[in-house]
Amino acid sequence: MKQGPRYYTKPRRRREGKTDYRKRLRLLKSRKTRIVVRNSLKNICVQFVGYDEVGDKILASAISKELIKNYQWEYSTSTTPAAYLTGLLAAKRAKDSGIGEGVLDIGRRIPVKGSKVFAALKGTLDAGIECPHDAKQLPDEDRLLGKHLDGKIMAKVTDIKSKIIGGK
């Protein structure tokens, strides 16, 4: 173990590789609400997070499990269409609470063109939230509707999309 008067122990989350503090500082300096998108093996979570000195405040959120409970989703909750619908649902809630713009926070993920993270961003954009982005990164419409998965899923995605935008 290193020691000495000039040795500085890095923060725990930096040592564990969970937080990139330089990237976080740049996002916070924008003074916009962060659109945090995280995906696990089974679910996708989209949160609108505001900065506070005491700790970040979650202003609006949605998790893909809600699609099963509230909208009778019959497919996997970790797919690209589920990410799109989860982003749409979270953005609808954020819009209702007065949030009009944000900046995407994907954490330590590597940005891959057409990934689930950008599908969730497309959902937030379709709900009317403004966010700086590159249109080349967003997945195409067929992928958002689930054409690559199953022919039946497309009708379900459009049905749930209309329910979310219409207000259930």
Is 9 among the domain residues?
A: no
Please give the tally of structural domains in the chain: 1
Is 51 among the domain residues?
A: yes
Is 5 among the domain residues?
A: no
Given a cut of 90, is residue 161 above it in pLDDT? yes
pLDDT in tens, 2-29: 788 888 888 999 999 998 889 889 988 8
CATH of the domain at 94: 3.30.420.100
Whole-model pTM: value is: 0.90
Give the range of the structural domain holding residue 161, as residue numbers without chain letter: 16-166
**Phi then psi for 148, rounded to 5 degrees?**
-75, -15
- Residues 119 and 83: beta-carbon distance below 8 Å: yes
| 35 closest CA partner among 63, 59, 52 | 59
**pLDDT-based confidence at 168, cuts 50/70/90?**
low
pLDDT in tens, 111-157: 999 999 999 999 999 999 999 999 999 999 999 999 999 888 999 99
Q: Residues 32-71, buried b or exposed e (16+ Cβ, 10 A)?
A: bbbbbbbbeeebbbbbbbebeeeeeeebbbbbbbbbeeeb
- Residues 86 and 63: beta-carbon distance below 8 Å: yes
Is 10 among the domain residues?
A: no
| 107 closest CA partner among 15, 16, 24 | 24
